[in-house]
Amino acid sequence: MSKSLQAQDHDLANHATQLKILSNGIFVDGKLPTFKKKLEPLSEFPLKPTSIEIFQVNVGYMCNQVCKHCHVAAGPDRKEIMTRETMEQCLEVLRNTKIHTLDLTGGAPEMNPDFRWFVEEANKAGVEEIIVRSNLTIILANPKYHDLPDFFKKNKVRVVSSLPFYQADKTDRQRGEGVFDKSIEALQMLNAVGYGKEGSGLSLDLVYNPSGAFLPGDQTSLERDFKKELKEHFDIEFNSLFTITNIPISRFLEFLIRTENYEDYMESLVNAFNPAAVKGVMCRNTISIDYVGLLYDLDFNQMLVL
């Protein structure tokens, strides 16, 4: 298993270095317009928040995987973890506001020793929806995690999991050797307790992100392909597939630069700018909390310490 950028002492482990790269070069020599320039004609600059609906908590950067695109640069060698005291503060906020969704992420959030306590307390606090961003393989990583599907079910957690492809090759190249087979087994375990099954009320959504320097295709078409292939070959069912775009920060930025894809990728991103999406961007209704309790308007900004 490869090391995180931090463990490699890589230049790009530093958020200031990343910001310097992202705000210079093609964005100052006039090759590409900045985000601000794109927003101004729409009278959307500065982009302002609406209200806080989603409370996203990063409970730590520790993970059992080292995915090549990870914007958190998570991995087994990352020791940053949220304490129960910080979780208590989060719960206090949830009890005293009208925020309806708690979105738990990491790393592998399940690896935080207080993860289960946090989920149970959030339920008691009356949060309408609790989302866990599970990488799936964690369920099989250790016997102590085997009962996670039952725990999720008991706590009515909505499970959202990454699966970059419905075949092993592309998945393993991005997420590590053997990840696909374990993900399939974990999905079958989730299905077995009712997740993704019609009428169960237990939501299992998959997240597709491209396994390379290209943008995601049409969500509806990919969802149809995923549903057909996963059902046919593995008898797996799930609710929705969300296609997301890889963000050019951290490990994915390192990949883009190393493979000389950076400029072309940034150009594809800028060309794909969709004015209609401006009103619905995540940072307008989300607040992102890092493992020490600092607030950001988005987890990507959390990683860049913006």
Q: Name the residue nearer to another protein (CB basis): 157 or 230.
A: 230
* Contact footprint for another protein (CB under 8 A): 165, 167, 169-170, 210, 212, 214-218, 221-222, 225, 267
Minimum distance, C-beta of residue 228 to another protein, in the bound complex (Å): 11
The pair of structure tokens assigned to 92 is 């206090």
Minimum distance, C-beta of residue 177 to another protein, in the bound complex (Å): 18
3-state helix/strand/coil string of 120-148: HHHHHCCCCEEEEEECCCHHHHCHHHCCH
Q: 158 with 203: CB under 8 angstroms?
A: yes
Minimum distance, C-beta of residue 131 to another protein, in the bound complex (Å): 25
Q: Name the residue nearer to another protein (CB basis): 105 or 243.
A: 243
Rounded Cα gap, residues 112 and 128, in angstroms: 22
What are the start-end ranges of the H helices in the chain? 15-22, 35-39, 84-96, 115-124, 138-141, 148-154, 168-175, 179-192, 219-234, 250-258, 262-271, 299-303
Closest by Cα among 274, 283, 202 to 238: 202
Q: Name the residue nearer to another protein (CB basis): 129 or 225.
A: 225
Q: Name the residue nearer to another protein (CB basis): 205 or 263.
A: 263
Q: Name the residue nearer to another protein (CB basis): 205 or 225.
A: 225
Q: Name the residue nearer to another protein (CB basis): 139 or 256.
A: 256
Q: 3 with 66: CB under 8 angstroms?
A: yes
Minimum distance, C-beta of residue 198 to another protein, in the bound complex (Å): 25
Helices (runs of H) and strands (runs of E) counted in the chain: 12, 8
Minimum distance, C-beta of residue 180 to another protein, in the bound complex (Å): 13
Minimum distance, C-beta of residue 51 to another protein, in the bound complex (Å): 34
| Beta pairing partners, 129 | 101
